[in-house]
Structure 1
Amino acid sequence: MRVELLLRLGRASEALSVIEFYLSAHPDDALARFQLGEVRFSLRQDQAAAFAYRLALAGNLDDLRRNMALKRLDMIVARKRWRFSVGGAISPDSNLNSATNRRRSICSDCRFALMTPRGGIAALASRLTAALSATSA
């Protein structure tokens, strides 16, 4: 009863210490395990809440709390589906893709070397176009 009151007052951390202290002396109390799950759920500690709910379900819970524990487990699964993270980076280099600006690149594990002709990619494109025109004529 005290744990529920502390939760309603928004003092979840105090409720957590009270219920954990009680469970240290009464580890088989399914109702206390359910309340621990409720406290952890309100603190968004989903893994710990799911564990507490599963332990409570393994004990002797009344039907109302059993159904609530099952719904809470479903809600925890739903929370996991919608998690995402956002990241970014700032790079002082103007070459954002980190490609080399060398004219010749040698791959030590390969049997070939990549070479860009003088004049860069534009010169390579014009040579390829000329070669394709010559073969089609």
Structure 2
Amino acid sequence: MVDKNIYIVQGEISTVVGAIKRNSRWNTHTPLDEEQDPLLNSFGHLKEILNNIKELSDVEPNVFLRPFLEVVRSEDTTGPITGLALTSVNKFLSYGLIGKKSAIERQSPVPSGGPPWDLISDKICTVVNDWHQIIS
């Protein structure tokens, strides 16, 4: 049985990718263009990963966060698309998908210099909260 959290991430992928494709910049893209577009390609790669796992905890949070954060950092996306990506990250935080220990971390201790997931989660929360204050 597939973890329901995978469906949450897949739904957010569909939402953000749909908005990107409806944007005028990407409106004339062909499937070949989509393979070459870094944002769409990143989401496509994430879809492949999610289709090959049974539990979201089988991958590190940065794997499913990366495409959404790339949208936030991109100068090519509009404010509404950036807002959708931030809303997705906020949803991941609200549902507890970020900040949980991954399968790898549960099996072995994190060596010094390893990823401080609690600190990363706190920083993401800060960014999302700041964004909500800006749009309110």
Q: TM-score range by the shorter chain?
A: 0.3 to 0.5
| TM-score, scaled to structure 2 | 0.44
Larger helix fraction of residues? 2
Larger strand fraction of residues? 1
Compare relative contact order (CA 8 Å, sep 6+) and give the higher one, 1 or 2.
2
Q: Which has the larger radius of gyration?
A: 1
